[in-house]
Structure 1
Amino acid sequence: MRRQLLFGACAVALLATSTQAALVHRYSFESDASDSVGSADGVIMGNTASFSGGELILDNPDGVGSAAFNDGAVPDTGAFVDFPNHLFSQAAAADQYGAVTVELWVTMDVNRDWSALFSAGSSSALEGNSAGGNDHFPYVQIIPRTGDGGAGNDLRVTTNGVAGPEGFVDEPGDGADLTSGVQEHIVAVFNQSGGLPGTITVFRNGVQYGDVAMIAANLDLAAMATAFPVTTAGDVNVWLGRSQWPDALVDASIAEMRIYSHALTINDAIQNGNFGPNSLVPEPATCVLAALGIAVIAWRRRA
C-alpha cells in the first residue's frame, strides 16, 4: 500500500516540476511568519494575532481599519503581517519574468466589505500607510468580499496602475464572497510573461473563478519600483490582512501562503489543493531516490 501511495505521489510530482522550482516564498504559520523557502520572514504587527493548529489567526474586531496602523501607530486591537519591501515585484522579476502567483489557504471568520486578505504595492501616503491609491499608486489586492451591496458582494482579485481603471477578476451579482467558517484554497495568477498589460487568472478550490481579466494599464509588476511617474516607492507595503485603503482589517485564519515566480496552471492548483496546506508535491528527485530504495529492498528479498 505504501508503494502505491509513493508511486501515485511521484506520478503527480513528474507533472509539477516547474511549480516546485518556482516556489520562492512559503509561510506555514506553525508558530511564526517565517519563510521556509526564501529569506523574507514576515513580522506580526499588532496585538490580536495568534497561532493555533498550524494556522495564523488574525482576530480583528469590527471597527478597526487598516489606517489604524498609519504612521507607525499600534492600536490596542488589530493585527496583520508585514513582509519585506519589494517581495512581490522581485518574485515577478525572477524565473518566468513578469509572472507571479499568490496561493492561500484561508478560513474567513467574518467577512467585511473591501478588507484585503493580501496586498502588495503602495498607497498615496507611501510606506506603512493605508490612505488609498487611485490613479498613480500601484498595487495588487485579494479582497474576500467587495462592498457592491446585496448579492453583488464577491471575491475580487484586483490590480491598480497609472491613470486608468483597475483591472480585476470577480463574479458580479453572484454573491460569491469567501464563505465564513470554511477553509478555501485561493490561487491568484498575475501573468505578464507575454508582455504588458498581461492577465489575471483566479482559481478557487480547484476551479477557475470568474473570467480571465487584463491587468490594469501601465502596471509593470516586475518593475514596480520604477514604473510609475508619481512615486518610485513600488511595493513597499506587502501585507497579509491589511489594505492599501483605510478599509477594515481581515478577520480570518490562514493555514499557508505561498509566492511563486511563475504562472501556476489549473492543474497546479488542483494538485496543490489535493495535497493541501503544509504539504508539498514531492520533488521528482526524491521520488527517484525512493524508487531506487524500493528496488534495492526488492532485490535483496529475492536474493
Structure 2
Amino acid sequence: MKRQLLAGTCLLALCATSASGALVHRYTFDGNANDSVGTANGVVMGNTATYAGGQIVLSNPTNTGSGAFNNNNVPASGSYVDFPNFLIRDAAAAGQAGAVSVEMWVTMNTNRDWSALFAAGISSSGIEGNSDGGNDNFPYLQIIPRTGDGGAGNDLRVTSNGVAGPESFVDAPGDSTDLQVGVQEHLIAVFDQSGGLPGTITVYRNGALYGAPAPIANNLNIAANATAFPVTTLADVNVWLGRSMWPDSLIDASIAELRIYSHALTLQDAQNNNGLGPNTVVPEPASCALAALGLVGLAWTRRR
C-alpha cells in the first residue's frame, strides 16, 4: 500500500517538474515586461506603452509603418517589446526538442493590415533591429491579427518563412475573421518539428482549432527533397511583441499575458487555458494528471 502511494506521489512530482520545465518564459506585464519563469526579461522600446489592469497597452495610434525606427531600434512614435535573442530557438531546443508554443491573450484596439502581434527571426537586411522583410535566406515566424488582402478574407494568420522556400501559414478557409477589436482573445501558435521535418504549424483560437495545421516553411537549400528550416536553429535575433519583420505598422493592442513553452500544446491544453484565462496558475498537462490520478486510484483500491 505505501509503495503504491509513494509511486503516485513520485509521478505527481515528476509531472509537476516536467510541466514547470515546459513553461520556459512567462510575461504577465504587471508593471513591467519581466520574465517571471526564466531570466529573459523584455525591454519596452518607444514612448507610448503603458500598463493597466494586468496588461501592457501598446498604444500606437499614429505609427502606420516601421521603417522610421530601423535605426537604433527605437520608434519615433509608438512602442513594442524587444525580447532577448534566440528566445524561440532555445525554447525549441529544450524540453520536447523541436517543439515550441507561443500563447497569449490580446485585445485589439485597432486592426491594421499585416501589423504583427508577435515576430521572431531576422529580416533580409541581416541587421538586428531592422524590419526590411524576411524572404530569401532569412527565416521568421509571425502572428498577424489581420492580413492585407483588401477586405476579402482578412484572416488572423500564423506564418513561417523558410530559407529560399515558400511561405507557410495557417488561417481559416474562406472569408474568415481577423482578431476582433475591443474583445480579448486567446491565441496559441504551435510550431512542432519533434516528429521530424518539415513539422507543422497548429493554431488554437479561443480554445478551438483554427484553420488546418500547415507544414512549416520549406527550405530548398538544405536538401533536394525540400525539408524545412528547423526551429531549433532559427536565427531569431529579432524577437518582438507588437512589431513585424516587415516595414508594417506597429500593433495597437493590449496584451494580458505572453507564455513560451518548450513543447507542443494540445487542443485539450488550449481548452483548459482558455477557460482559466490569463494570469492564473498554469495547469498540469491533462495526460500527466490523469496518469498520476490513475496510480493514486489504484493505491486506494488496493487499500480497501
After superposition, the C-alpha distances for 1:4-31 in whole angstroms (9 at most, x for unaligned) are: xxxxxxxxx99x8554430000000010
* 1:128 equivalent in structure 2: 129
What is the CA-CA distance between 1:281 and the residue it aligns to?
3.3
* 1:178 equivalent in structure 2: 179
Q: Please list, as runs of the form range in 1=range in 2, the aligned pairs for 1:44-59 lying within 5 A after superposition.
A: 44-59=44-59
Query: C-alpha separation between the residues in 1 aligned to 2:118 and 2:23?
Result: 17
* 1:161 equivalent in structure 2: 162
Give ranges in structure 1 of 5+ residues lacking alignment.
1-12, 225-233, 288-303
SS in structure 1 of the partner of residue 218 of structure 2:
coil
Q: Does 1:269 align with 2:279?
A: no
What is the CA-CA distance between 1:283 and the residue it aligns to?
5.7
Q: Does 1:87 align with 2:90?
A: no
What is the CA-CA distance between 1:75 and the residue it aligns to?
3.7
Range 95-104 or range 173-182, more displaced: 173-182
Cα pair 1:19 1:264 within 8 Å, conserved: no
Cα pair 1:121 1:236 within 8 Å, conserved: yes
Cα pair 2:63 2:78 within 8 Å, conserved: no
SS in structure 2 of the partner of residue 186 of structure 1:
strand
Query: C-alpha separation between the residues in 1 aligned to 2:164 and 2:237?
Result: 20
* 2:153 equivalent in structure 1: 152
Give me the identity figure in percent: 67
Query: C-alpha separation between the residues in 2 aligned to 1:45 and 1:144?
Result: 21
What is the CA-CA distance between 1:282 and the residue it aligns to?
4.8
Q: 1:236 to 1:281 in 2, by over 3 A?
A: closer
Query: C-alpha separation between the residues in 2 aligned to 1:46 and 1:64?
Result: 14
Query: C-alpha separation between the residues in 1 aligned to 2:106 and 2:193?
Result: 26
SS in structure 1 of the partner of residue 190 of structure 2:
strand
The residue type equivalent to 1:67 in the other structure is: G
Cα pair 1:119 1:239 within 8 Å, conserved: yes
After superposition, the C-alpha distances for 1:172-223 in whole angstroms (9 at most, x for unaligned) are: 4323100000000000000000111100000000000000100001221001
Q: Does 1:208 align with 2:209?
A: yes
Query: C-alpha separation between the residues in 1 aligned to 2:259 and 2:187?
Result: 11
* 1:111 equivalent in structure 2: 111
* 1:220 equivalent in structure 2: 230
SS in structure 2 of the partner of residue 179 of structure 1:
coil
SS in structure 2 of the partner of residue 142 of structure 1:
strand
Give ranges in structure 2 of 5+ residues lacking alignment.
1-11, 220-228, 290-304
Give the TM-score normalised by the residue count of structure 2: 0.83
What is the CA-CA distance between 1:275 and the residue it aligns to?
1.2
What is the CA-CA distance between 1:143 and the residue it aligns to?
0.2
What is the CA-CA distance between 1:34 and the residue it aligns to?
0.1
What is the CA-CA distance between 1:74 and the residue it aligns to?
3.2
Q: Please list, as runs of the form range in 1=range in 2, the aligned pairs for 1:18-33 lying within 5 A after superposition.
A: 19-33=19-33
What is the CA-CA distance between 1:169 and the residue it aligns to?
0.2
Query: C-alpha separation between the residues in 2 aligned to 1:76 and 1:216?
Result: 33
SS in structure 2 of the partner of residue 57 of structure 1:
strand
What is the CA-CA distance between 1:68 and the residue it aligns to?
2.2
The residue type equivalent to 2:131 in the other structure is: S
SS in structure 2 of the partner of residue 21 of structure 1:
helix
SS in structure 2 of the partner of residue 106 of structure 1:
strand
Q: Which runs of 4+ in 1 moved over 4 A?
A: 16-19
The residue type equivalent to 2:114 in the other structure is: W
Query: C-alpha separation between the residues in 2 aligned to 1:151 and 1:178?
Result: 15
SS in structure 2 of the partner of residue 255 of structure 1:
strand
Query: C-alpha separation between the residues in 1 aligned to 2:197 and 2:55?
Result: 36
